[in-house]
């Protein structure tokens, strides 16, 4: 009944508006306007995510199905609550948004005219629900070739952590970095002109030992149009190396430093305007291990948080362009782990098994926002605050602050299977893309966690 009331109310507004009038004017008091195409979706939980599932027809059983409609069609999307949580549905590009449904089996609908050709997003607008998986594509007209088809995959693999130094002594190490300017995948259907170290964001995790003598060779790709450089926060010397590595396109410059301080340090481009070079993707980390190396763990991961400031709003399709105004206002449209919106949710989920010990090397490229790093459903057993490896670690920590240009190292054991979400606990940022998934497999441990049926206290049962 709610669907019918919403539909007929909406139809009444369509008939009153000239731009939506039916071809043949209806008689007064009658309604003859019907949608050209109707979809029915059901809310559900799949693979640990909140999702929409097709309920009938060609989309039946499909998770977050693509909804294909002709251009200028009147579209109705019905939503049935299948999981009992609060939900709605919206297609922002067409100004369509439903009311909220709260009970299992409740339903709602939106009706709109798809009067623009292209690919658009439908989603649940409840806080955190899009980040949890409730979004899909509305394709109007002929499907367009995805914008990222010719774009580079710049997302950094979080398992690319290099080899531990172990118990070796100091030695000479050579680090080769190339600065590039490439069109990379931001998210499905959108791209950005990234500036990178070695075609990845963040750049490679450099791993050395305290006492090592490190030579850095920085080459700027001949196709580049800007001068680039590198500033290692682990370096004692002018500009952290940036003073001697302002490299023109097609050239190479080098410097050598001694790794004097153990710790986890950020490096980044330091060519004016420095903030623009960093936001475009020019950041990474160097791990200087202490004498004897780090204690052994089962798995290590490399994760960095970054920001993009674009003229286009978050969720827009196509090529996204840099906005100087938004950068200066410190108002990013996109936030991400490891370079792109889906780097750690789809492409490179962190994987572990019950009983394993994990270590995350976490840093903030920035250039502006401080992170409140948190893994939902876990407690950090040890946090090496500000990435100091010579100070005693903090223990039993829920959330840790990491400033832009800063880092931390966290360690914890996973005891219960499931999906654990990596976030900055400034949780509005999840809505702009900032989340990751740690997927843990293995046997349940009911002594630590298990679901229980609700008890009816009124009946005594």
Binding-site annotation: residue ranges for Cu cation:
228, 233, 268-269, 277, 282, 425
CA angle, 267 then 270 then 275, to 5°: 95
282, 342 contact by CB (below 8 A) = no
Could you list the residues known to form a binding site, using ranges: 228, 233, 268-269, 277, 282, 425
- CA–CA dist 129, 116 (Å, integer): 26
89, 138 contact by CB (below 8 A) = no
Main-chain dihedrals φ then ψ at residue 79, nearest 5 degrees: -130, 125
Number of other CB atoms surrounding residue 459 within 10 Å: 6
Number of other CB atoms surrounding residue 165 within 10 Å: 23
- CA–CA dist 237, 361 (Å, integer): 25
114, 156 contact by CB (below 8 A) = no
Show Cβ contacts of residue 158 under 8 Å, excluding neighbours closer than 6 positions: 301, 302, 303, 338, 344, 348, 350
- CA–CA dist 365, 274 (Å, integer): 12
Question: Distances from the Cα of 231 to the Cαs of 15, 43, 199, 247, 251, in angstroms?
Answer: 63, 48, 18, 13, 17
Q: Say if residue 322 is preceded by a cis peptide, omega within 30 of 0.
A: no
Question: Distances from the Cα of 456 to the Cαs of 25, 85, 461, in angstroms?
Answer: 57, 20, 6
Closest CA to 254 of 216, 281, 295, 290: 216
- Name the helix (H) or strand (E) containing 10: helix 2-16
Q: Is 15 helix (H, G, I), strand (E, B) or coil?
A: helix
Q: How would you classify the pairing of strands 135-140 and 118-123?
A: antiparallel
- CA–CA dist 199, 183 (Å, integer): 10
Provide the token pair at 104.
């299992």
DSSP string, 256-282: EEE--S-EEEEEE--SSSHHHHHHTT-
360, 207 contact by CB (below 8 A) = no
Number of other CB atoms surrounding residue 116 within 10 Å: 12
From the CA atom positions of the chain, what is the Rg in Å? 26
């Amino acid at each position: 009944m709610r669907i019918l009331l919403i539909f007929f109310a909406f139809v009444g507004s369509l008939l009153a508006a000239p731009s939506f009038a039916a071809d043949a004017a209806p008689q007064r008091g009658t309604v003859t306007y019907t949608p050209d195409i109707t979809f029915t979706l059901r809310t559900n939980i799949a693979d640990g995510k909140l999702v929409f599932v097709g309920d009938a027809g060609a989309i039946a059983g499909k998770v977050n199905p693509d909804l294909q409609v002709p251009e200028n069609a009147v579209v109705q999307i019905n939503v049935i609550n299948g999981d009992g949580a609060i939900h709605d549905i919206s297609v922002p590009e067409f100004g369509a948004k439903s009311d909220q449904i709260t009970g299992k089996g409740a339903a709602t609908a939106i009706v709109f005219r798809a009067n623009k050709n292209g690919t658009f997003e439908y989603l649940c607008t409840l806080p955190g629900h899009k980040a949890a998986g409730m979004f899909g594509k509305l394709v109007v007209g002929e499907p367009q070739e995805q914008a990222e088809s010719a774009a580079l995959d710049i997302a950094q693999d979080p398992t690319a952590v290099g080899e531990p130094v172990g118990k070796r002594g100091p030695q000479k190490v050579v680090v080769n970095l190339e600065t590039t300017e490439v069109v990379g995948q931001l998210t499905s259907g959108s791209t950005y002109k990234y500036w990178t170290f070695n075609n990845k964001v963040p750049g490679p995790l450099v791993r050395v030992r305290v006492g090592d003598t490190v030579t850095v060779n920085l080459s700027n790709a001949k196709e580049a149009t800007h001068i680039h450089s590198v500033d290692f926060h682990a370096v004692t010397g002018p500009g952290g190396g940036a003073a001697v590595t302002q490299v023109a396109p097609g050239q190479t410059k080098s410097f050598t430093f001694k790794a004097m301080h153990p710790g986890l340090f950020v490096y980044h481009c330091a060519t004016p305007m420095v903030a623009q070079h960093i936001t475009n993707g020019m950041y990474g980390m160097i791990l200087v291990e202490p004498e004897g190396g780090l204690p052994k763990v089962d798995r290590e991961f490399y994760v960095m948080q970054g920001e993009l400031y674009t003229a286009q709003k978050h969720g827009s399709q196509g090529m996204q362009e840099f906005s100087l105004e938004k950068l200066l206002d410190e108002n990013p449209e996109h936030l991400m782990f490891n370079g792109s919106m889906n780097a750690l949710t789809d492409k490179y989920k962190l994987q572990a098994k019950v009983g394993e010990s994990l270590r995350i090397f976490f840093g903030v490229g920035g250039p502006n926002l401080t992170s409140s790093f948190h893994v939902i459903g876990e407690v950090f057993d040890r946090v090496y605050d500000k990435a100091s490896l010579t100070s005693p670690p903090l223990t039993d920590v829920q959330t840790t602050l990491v400033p832009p240009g800063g880092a931390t190292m966290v360690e914890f054991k996973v005891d219960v299977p499931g999906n654990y979400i990596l976030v900055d606990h400034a949780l509005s940022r999840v809505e702009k893309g900032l989340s990751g998934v740690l997927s843990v497999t293995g046997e349940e441990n009911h002594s630590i966690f298990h679901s229980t049926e609700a008890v009816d206290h009124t009946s005594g049962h």
